[in-house]
Chains A and B, each alone.
Chain A
Amino acid sequence: MIGSKQLVADNNEKRKLLTKENEKYYDDMLVYIRIKSKVSAQESEEILMELLDHLIEGQQDGKTAADIFGKNPKGYADELISELPKETFRTRLPFFGILAGIFISWSLIGRGLFSLITGLFTVLDTRVYLGTVVIETLYWLIFALLMIWFVFRCVERSLFNKKRALLKQMILAGIVGVLGSAPGFILIFFHLVSNFGPSFAFGWLPSLASGALLRIGCFLANKKLNIF
């Protein structure tokens, strides 16, 4: 079996063979299907590769993408997605699990590096309060997930248009991002969530080490499950 990473790489190469008109048609479909089907990269990349191969062969016979896939690319892509294996909460759990894992691991690594560097100049209180940490982590996780969902939606809405509206959508996403993250920064900066729960010292080394371990764990899990 050819893995999804290889398929993506092959796809990038082969797309260069398309005419400009066909590329525009295919690109929209590609992005749409990648965004909308998050079950397994393998299945969506395989069908995308089949469509691309077909389009390239058809192009040599003088056909356009619209001749082959119809004049309604969005409708066609929706039809394909509806026939891909159904996604349920269970099948999507690994996706969100690994996403959260990567997010937390980078936070730990970032915190570790920050403590290490600032610790060189000043004495840091590395004590963490479990209750506070859980609340803050939950806030950022939910924010990150909403943000990803929102950006996906923005990209989705910019597809299949005559005019590319991506820039406008991205500016919108940026504004939402700033507005959404502001309360989080205010909470942390002004210590509005009072410390609660058991506390323990958590210096730069354990922070960095646990972050790195978690990142490796996510990497291995992703390699096994082949999600991203």
Chain B
Amino acid sequence: MSVRSQLLKGVLDGCVLSIIEKENVYGYELSKKLQDAGLGDVSEGTIYPVLLRLQKNGYIRGEMRPSESGPNRKYYSLTDEGCAALNELAQEWAHIAGPVTALMRRRQADDSFEAINRGK
């Protein structure tokens, strides 16, 4: 598993929830929206275990109905619990994202600092 997909694993649930919050989507649409959001590297199939887990936890509800283009598709919508879970996730993410970004930036700065030292 690539570093990126390992990192994403924890936050993919939140990404999927936030897309479903905006509009009801089915699987293929969801993967397209993730790609549009810039998460193109996520292997498309990874959304299905996530969708099953979110359904099992009662965060989303799936309903089979005809799509705009005709055939039946399973459309997902957010439940009240899902909304609460997403709020919590978003808050937690805000707490983590800032410090992590800062740490990674500092590291880059240190690297260049070391490079300068080595150069002497």
Q: A-side interface residues toward B, CB under 8 Å? A: 1-2, 10, 46-47, 49-51, 53-54, 57-58, 63, 67-70, 76, 79-80, 82-85
Contact = CB atoms under 8 A, between A and B. Distances in A.
A85 B45 CA distance: 19
Contact of A50 (B43, B48, B53, B56): B48
A2 B72 contact: yes
Interface of B: 26-28, 31, 43-45, 48-49, 51-53, 56, 62, 64, 71-74
A83 B62 CA distance: 15
Contact of A83 (B26, B52, B71, B74): B52
A46 B56 CA distance: 14
A2 B53 CA distance: 21
A83 B53 contact: yes
Nearest 7 Cβ contacts at the A-B interface = A69-B45, A83-B52, A68-B44, A83-B53, A79-B49, A57-B28, A83-B49
Given A70-B43, A80-B48, A46 B62 contact: yes
Secondary structure type dominating chain A contacts = helix
Contacts, number: 56
A1 B44 contact: no
A50 B74 contact: yes
B92 to A, nearest CB: 22
Contacts of A10: 72
A1 B64 contact: yes
Contacts of A53: 26-28, 71, 73
9 contacts: A50-B74, A54-B27, A54-B44, A67-B44, A69-B43, A70-B45, A79-B49, A83-B49, A83-B52
A207 B31 CA distance: 57
A51 B48 CA distance: 8
Contacts of A80: 48-49, 52
A84 B27 CA distance: 16
B45 A76 contact: yes
A7 to B, nearest CB: 8
B96 to A, nearest CB: 24
